Amino acid sequence: MIRIIGILCLSALSCSVFGQGDSLDIYLKTAGDNHPAVRAAFYAYEAALQRIPQAGALNDPQLETGFFFQPMNIVDGRQIADFRLMQMFPWFGGRKAARTEAEHMAKMAFEQFRETRDNLCLEIYTRWYALCRLQQQLSYIRNNREWLQQMEMLALRKYQASAALQTLASGEGKRVKASEDANSTGNGMGGMNMYQSSGNSASGNLPENDGTMTAMNMGSSTTGMAGVLLIRIEAEELDNNIENLEAEILAEKARFNVLLNRPAESAVIIPDTLRQTVLADNTDGWIQTVVQQNPMLKMLEEERLSYEAKTEMNRKMGYPMFGIGLEYMLIGKTKEQTGATSMMNSMNGKDMIMPMVSISIPLYRNKYRAAQRESLLLRKATDEKYTDILNQLQAELYRYKQQTDNATRNITLYRKQVSLTYAACELLLREFSSGKASLSDIVQMQRRLLDYRLKETDAVADYNIAAANIRNLMSQLYYFDNNE
């Protein structure tokens, strides 16, 4: 029955339902089937099961045989050989106590298998969230790189348009100056009036020309070649970040494949979007579940029960052992003697069968009392270890709880900042199109938007990893469903 439970639990690792897509299901099944540490722990558990029938078995019977080189004369015959068979039985309840101890030791091996399995699940989840985080960040940086490429094209167009306007304004200025020089050569009052009229006309056009020059100057300051170079500097930095992320993803995939016990260059399908898992805030319930389900605590419980059974077994070993046996004597016939009675003649050469009963006397009691004290002290040591491990698990639980709380606050903060920064970018783009904002302001705001998105991705990954650690403490990670 215990072996069936172990096989079902090993299958549960392979056939569990997860919330991160079908790809993660396949990877977990692969790890459950192929990971050597999990398989070794399961084989150790099956080996422990084989100790149960050994512990509950009787000692082998003893057969003693003796032959006479020369048959020994006895009354009514000649003894040729002697056969003795004896079976010893421990005190009542001793075999049961030994079998109970072996069962608890097998359950300890099963809890060790569960711990190995859960740790593997946790490591797979940690690597998986790390991969998803890198993939999400790579997607954000690539999108920002495409945005910079579009902005560079826009900046080049505005720069070319601004240069064309400056050329046109320069030609118009030369024409006006030539006209003024021609008017200044005129004579008389009419010439003066024409000069004044032309001057008034030119003066009337000055505000418009000044506005044109101001717009061109502003356009030059916002869409000049310096702005284009600024965009290219940002683009080079993003290209370098993309290459670094791609290399980091390859290395992380190799470590992930090692967990699956397959070649490091095997393909790993990663979603582009990293979603936040769902974890209900119930610290008291978590602690109760840890006490009930954590494999380390369950292993210590089984160890304590095994020492209790061993104490009982040592106590039973201090009682006498009983033996039941049979002795068979092979007797040959002798020549009949004169005057022998008829009864003696009838017993001549007849084999003898004698039932036997034996009992062991546990006279030296010190070793039995020492064995009982040893088991009692080991049980007390296990109780202390249980308390220590429980305190450590509670401390870890609160530490991961703090990490999820911090990550939740960071996620809320960064999402608000992403929303506000995105709105600011949209506003700056409209102001840039009307010449009221510089290109450097837009690039700086877009860089800040990317930074907030990357930080949000880090916060989501940190939350998911901390939540996975909490579920691992409760031994619930291997059947975790993200859609609960």
* Cα(153)–Cα(222) distance, integer angstroms: 14
Residue 79's closest CA among 89, 66, 94, 61? Answer: 66
Report the SS3 class of residue 442. Answer: helix
Extended strands (E) in 150-300: none
Q: Write out the two tokens for 71.
A: 């048959």
Report the SS3 class of residue 350. Answer: coil
* Cα(465)–Cα(231) distance, integer angstroms: 36
Q: Name the β-bridge partners of 332.
A: 78
Position of tokens 């969230």?
Answer: 129
* Cα(152)–Cα(154) distance, integer angstroms: 5
Asked whether the CA dihedral 473, 476, 477, 483 is positive or negative, the reply is negative
Q: Is 83 left (phi over 0), alpha (psi -120 to 50) or beta?
A: beta
Domains, in order of start, for the chain: 2-34+90-321+360-479 (1.20.1600.10)
DSSP 474: T
* Cα(43)–Cα(28) distance, integer angstroms: 19
Supply the pLDDT for residue 259: 93
59 burial via Cβ count (<10 Å: 0-12, 13-18, 19+): exposed
* 353: phi then psi, degrees, rounded to nearest 5: -120, 130
Report the SS3 class of residue 59. Answer: coil
Supply the pLDDT for residue 176: 53
Q: Which residues contact 85 (CB under 8 A, 6 or more apart)?
A: 61, 62, 63, 64, 325, 326, 327
Per-residue pLDDT of the chain (484 residues; tens, 9 = 90+): 444 444 434 444 433 333 444 477 788 888 888 899 999 999 999 999 999 999 988 988 999 998 888 887 777 778 889 999 999 999 999 999 999 999 999 999 999 999 999 999 999 999 999 999 999 999 999 999 999 998 888 878 877 776 666 676 666 655 655 555 555 544 444 444 433 333 333 333 333 344 333 333 434 444 467 878 889 999 999 999 999 999 999 999 999 999 999 999 999 998 888 999 988 888 899 999 999 999 999 999 999 999 999 999 999 999 999 999 999 988 888 765 545 455 556 677 788 899 999 999 998 889 999 999 999 999 999 999 999 999 999 999 999 999 999 999 999 999 999 999 999 999 998 888 777 878 888 999 999 999 999 999 999 999 999 999 999 999 987 654 443 3
Q: Which residues contact 463 (CB under 8 A, 6 or more apart)?
A: 276, 277, 403, 404, 407, 408, 411
Helical (H) or strand (E) element with 85? strand 77-89
Extended strands (E) in 99-223: none
Q: CA 384 from chain center: how many Å?
A: 28
Dihedral of the alpha carbons of 198, 199, 205, 209, in degrees to the nearest 10: 120
Q: Which residues contact 439 (CB under 8 A, 6 or more apart)?
A: 151, 155, 222, 223, 227, 230, 231, 432
Q: How far is CA 346 from CA 49, 73, 76, 201, 336, in A?
A: 57, 17, 9, 166, 11
Residue 471: count of CB within 10 angstroms of its CB: 23
Position of tokens 């049979």?
Answer: 326
Supply the pLDDT for residue 202: 35
pTM, whole model, 2 decimals?
Answer: 0.77
Supply the pLDDT for residue 184: 54
* Cα(340)–Cα(194) distance, integer angstroms: 184
Q: How far is CA 241 from CA 180, 236, 252, 345, 455, in A?
A: 59, 9, 16, 113, 15
Interior CA angle at 173 toward 167 and 175, to 5°?
110
* Cα(452)–Cα(455) distance, integer angstroms: 5
Report the SS3 class of residue 64. Answer: strand
Contact yes or no for 101/313 (Cβ under 8 A): yes
